[in-house]
Amino acid sequence: MKMIMKTHFNPANLLLFVSGLSIGFILTSYLNTNFSLDLHVTQLSLSTSPTPTTFSNPSNAGAGAVSCSSSSENKTHLGGLRDHLLDHDMNDEELMWRASLTPKIKALPFKTVPKLAFLFLTRGPVWLSPLWEKFFKGYDGLYSIYVHSHPGYNQTDHQESGLFHGRRIPSKEVGWGKVNMIEAERRLLANALLDFSNKRFILLSETCIPLFNFSTIYSYFMNTTQNFVESYDLPGPVGRGRYSPNMGPTITIEQWRKGSQWFQMDRDLALEIISDEKFFPIFQNYCKGSCYADEHYMPTFVSSMFWVPNSNRTLTWVDWSRGGPHPSRFVRADVTVELLERLRKGRNCKYNEEDNNICFLFARKFMPNTLDRLLRFAPKIMGFNR
């Protein structure tokens, strides 16, 4: 006997089925739409980069004008240190390691403009900042500024050109003649090296002034392969007499050199200095008291390891004619047209193996009360904004 089972239709089941199907369709469409949107936004953020800034390089030192062909809005390049990262929280060891990293591929995958890095080692404010502002005016994108001042310095307590606001790096206390002054110089170099577009590095103090306009100084550096680190052998108590036998055998008295701390160097030498694990620890351990590390570390290091590309002179003029442990200071009454003209010319030196009468690009020590006379004479004499 055949049994026939009869299925009864239930409207509630149909309603449940249709509702579930609709919810699934809506959810699937929502997820697909958002995934596509997220992917599109991600791809856009990865593929978007600032428009590169391009400048034409001057051809002759002291003659070529530097011209810019893009706005100052696009100053940041891929791989460089952005302005808001100057107050990073890296300690010295982390900073030196990070700054010492160099790409194996020399050709950059983006366009960049070679810049001069101006490294100011100061106690507090850059006293002569209004003069420097006139010097830099019109050359955005061709320079970087880094300031190492006393960690206790309160920038709001002093009037300083806006050009220097936000340009201070994480700093530590520095004592005259102590090895921590070299540590500060290395700290400045390391921060500047984080920006791949910085090609030349210039150490200055708050008492330094430029002797020529920006175009001349930029051309001078970009058209030479030389470094400018003064180094010489000096017998007697203030030269070889400062050498400690404890530095041997790594550093011998025959290698010991003296020179000005105010250097101008290229990127390769700057990398070697912040990466130095041979000479620098010796100075940290044994250059104390009357050793005066700032006058001996770089002259000794460069003359021993990187003598060939070094010009063996500094481009920063100082006056030692009055004697004593410090160079002469210039006050307001000292600043005259004749003085500035004399500092600019009247000497002979070698530049790219040829005779040249531009031997100094900067001078010091100019006190704060010289500012008004410098602002009166310097722009015309030095040809600022040309």
> What DSSP assignment string belongs to 63-113?
TPPPEE-S-TT----TTSPPGGGTT----HHHHHHHHH---S--S-SS---
pLDDT of residue 321: 80
**How far from 203 is each of 21, 168, 209, 316, 334, CA to CA, in Å?**
73, 14, 12, 9, 24
CATH number at residue 140: 3.90.550
298-357, pLDDT tens digit by residue? 999 999 999 888 999 999 999 988 777 778 999 999 999 999 999 998 789 999 999 999
Burial class (CB in 10 A: 0-12, 13-18, 19+), 314: buried
CA 244 to chain centre: 32
83, pLDDT greater than 60: no
Q: Which amino acid is residue 280, in one-letter code?
A: F
Q: Would the pLDDT of 77 be above 70? A: no
State the average pLDDT over residues 138-151.
94
Flag whether 8 is in a domain: no
- For the cut 50, the answer to whether the pLDDT of residue 47 exceeds it is no
| C-alpha–C-alpha distance, residues 122 and 160, integer Å | 13
- Asked whether residue 326 is domain-assigned, the answer is no
Cα–Cα dist 208/361, whole Å: 10
377 within some domain: no
Q: Are strands 209-210 and 67-68 parallel, antiparallel or unpaired?
A: unpaired
What's the mean pLDDT in 359-373?
96
What is the C-alpha to C-alpha distance for residues 216 and 198, in angstroms, rounded to an integer?
18
Cα dihedral angle (30, 34, 35, 37), rounded to 10 degrees? 140
Write down the pLDDT at residue 9: 45
| Interstrand relation of 362-363 and 198-205 (parallel, antiparallel or unpaired) | unpaired
Q: Are 192 and 144 in contact (CB under 8 A)?
A: yes
pLDDT at 34 over 50: no
For 193-228, b/e burial (b = at least 16 CB within 10 A) is bbbbbbbbbbbbbbbbbbbbbbbbbbbbbbbbebbb
- Burial track 274-294 (b if 16+ CB lie within 10 A, e otherwise): bbbeebbebbeebbeeebbbb
Q: Is the dihedral of CA 158, 163, 164, 167 positive or negative?
A: positive
Pair of tokens at residue 26: 């809506």
Q: How far apart are CA 66 and CA 54, in angstroms?
A: 11
| Structure confidence at residue 62 as a pLDDT band (50, 70, 90) | very low
State yes or no: pLDDT of 54 exceeds 50.
Answer: no
Q: What are the residues facing 148 on neighbouring strands?
A: 121
DSSP for residue 52 = P
Q: Is 76 or 144 the better-scoring residue by pLDDT? A: 144
CA-nearest of 183, 116, 173 to 149 is: 173
Question: Does 164 reside within a domain?
Answer: yes
Tokens of 40: 């599109």
The confidence band for 85, taking pLDDT boundaries of 50, 70 and 90, is low
Does residue 249 lie in a domain region? yes
In a 3-state reduction of DSSP, which class is residue 247? helix
The backbone torsions φ and ψ at residue 266, rounded to the nearest 5 degrees and listed phi first, read -90, 180
Question: Sign of the C-alpha dihedral, residues 151, 155, 161, 162?
Answer: positive
So what's the pLDDT on residue 67?
Answer: 43
- Total structural domains within the chain: 1
* Cα distance between the two ends of the chain: 114
pLDDT at residue 138 greater than cutoff 50: yes
Distance CA 227, CA 305 (A): 13
Q: What is the pLDDT of residue 155?
A: 65
CA atoms of 294 and 184, how far apart (whole Å): 10
Q: How high is the mean pLDDT of the chain?
A: 81
Q: Is 126 exposed, middle or buried (0-12, 13-18, 19+ CB in 10 A)?
A: buried
- Contact yes or no for 205/169 (Cβ under 8 A): no
The SS3 of residue 228 is strand
Does some domain include residue 325? no
pLDDT digits (tens, 9 = 90+) for 150-192: 888 766 656 666 888 889 999 998 888 899 999 999 999 999 9
Residue 156 pLDDT: 62
pLDDT(39) > 60: no
- Tell me, what's the pLDDT at 103? 86
Residue 242 resides in a domain: yes
User: Whole domain around residue 160: which residue ranges?
Assistant: 81-315
How far apart are alpha carbons 274 and 13 in whole angstroms? 77
Residue 19 has pLDDT above 80, yes or no: no
Query: What per-residue confidence (pLDDT) applies to 160?
Result: 66
Note whether residue 4 is domain-resident: no
Ranking 68-77, 196-205, 230-239, 289-298 by mean pLDDT, the lowest is: 68-77
